[in-house]
Amino acid sequence: MSDISGRHILVTGGGRGIGLSIALACAQAGANVTVMARSEKDLAEAEKQLRKVAKDSSKCLALRTDVSDDQQLQSALETAHKAQGPIYGLICAAGVYGAIAPFAQSNFEDWEKTIAINLTGTARTVHRALKHMTADDGGRVIFFSGGGQGPMPNFSDYVTSKGAIWRLTETLGAELAPMKIFVNAVAPGAVNTRLLDELLEAGPERVGQEVYNRSIQQRESGGQSPEKAAELCLYLLSPKSAGLYGKTLSAIWDRYQEFEASPNSGLEHLSKSDLFTYRRVVDTKGNTRG
């Protein structure tokens, strides 16, 4: 599905979980893959796995990077550019659940730290990476939304950061599309990752009994496959998605493979529509209903 052989794909949060699954899929497709993460242990294991599946093991790079640390991030981006070439695909998968607690009882410094990683860290990564992105045939930027829909008590910092990603996706999508850098976001579904382990370790008193019970069921059922998110990312990195921007797509439910088959529409028309965006229902005159 994806023609990214020889292209430089950079994945933040690529040391484990969904980020690592995406990095592995890109390496298997022949890309030059750079992964960034905070944990040296995770990075060492990720680099080992990447070198096993890559067509050229020398084109795999792992860099310890905290996306909330501007100096560290800029240094890592410079290193990645020099070693792997201009960035074609930037995948921002770094994220944390943060201060799992009722808002009034949470430590606000921890609350702010979640925003610093999930939202500000994502925006900072794009801002700093743009000068390292290829200029000849554009590029791709992929964000990650999360938290489902509706209220999620005891996770206010997480859902606030991820809700903001929807609007960042739409806005940067519109700004960068003229440069042929297409920005979209992925909703991966309920994947069993270390974040789920952290949620369960927090216990029902902190996360709430309903969320805790649902998470137990998710762990026991196996959850959604991270490979689904990887497949969607490969589509968004491919020439088939050229012209698509500003959308948040479900890796589980949206039939993105059929987008090109839509009669007389094309991806540019879809990009300018309200589909797959964060909007209330409006009438034909632009007035909000309800």
Question: What is the pLDDT confidence band of residue 1, given thresholds at 50, 70 and 90?
Answer: very low
Note the pLDDT tens digit of each residue in 175-201. 999 999 999 999 886 554 565 566 666
Q: What is the mean pLDDT of residues 258-282?
A: 72
- pLDDT above 60: residue 264: no
Which H, E and C letters describe the chain, residue by residue? CCCCCCCEEEEECCCCHHHHHHHHHHHHCCCEEEEEECCHHHHHHHHHHHHHHCCCHHHEEEEECCCCCHHHHHHHHHHHHHHHCCEEEEEECCCCCCCCCCHHHCCHHHHHHHHHHHHHHHHHHHHHHHHHECCCCCEEEEEECCCCCCCCCCCHHHHHHHHHHHHHHHHHHHHHHHHCEEEEEEECCCECCHHHHHHHHHCHHHHCHHHHHHHHHHHHHCCECHHHHHHHHHHHHCHHHCCCCCCEEECCCCCHHHHHHCCCCHHHHHHCCCCCCCCCCECCCCCECC
Domain boundaries, the chain: 8-189+224-271
What is the identity of the amino acid at 15?
A: G
Q: What is the pTM of this model?
A: 0.86
Note the pLDDT tens digit of each residue in 198-239. 666 666 666 666 666 665 665 655 555 668 889 999 999 999
Q: What is the mean pLDDT of residues 19-46?
A: 95
CA-to-CA separations, 18 to 23, 50, 165, 171, 283, in angstroms, rounded: 9, 14, 17, 25, 38
Q: At what angle do helices 209-221 and 194-202 cross, to 10 degrees?
A: 140
Angle at 270 between CA 264 and CA 271, to 5 degrees: 140
Q: At what angle do helices 156-176 and 108-115 cross, to 10 degrees?
A: 30
Q: Which CATH class is domain 8-189+224-271?
A: alpha beta
- pLDDT above 80: residue 144: yes
pLDDT value of residue 217: 61
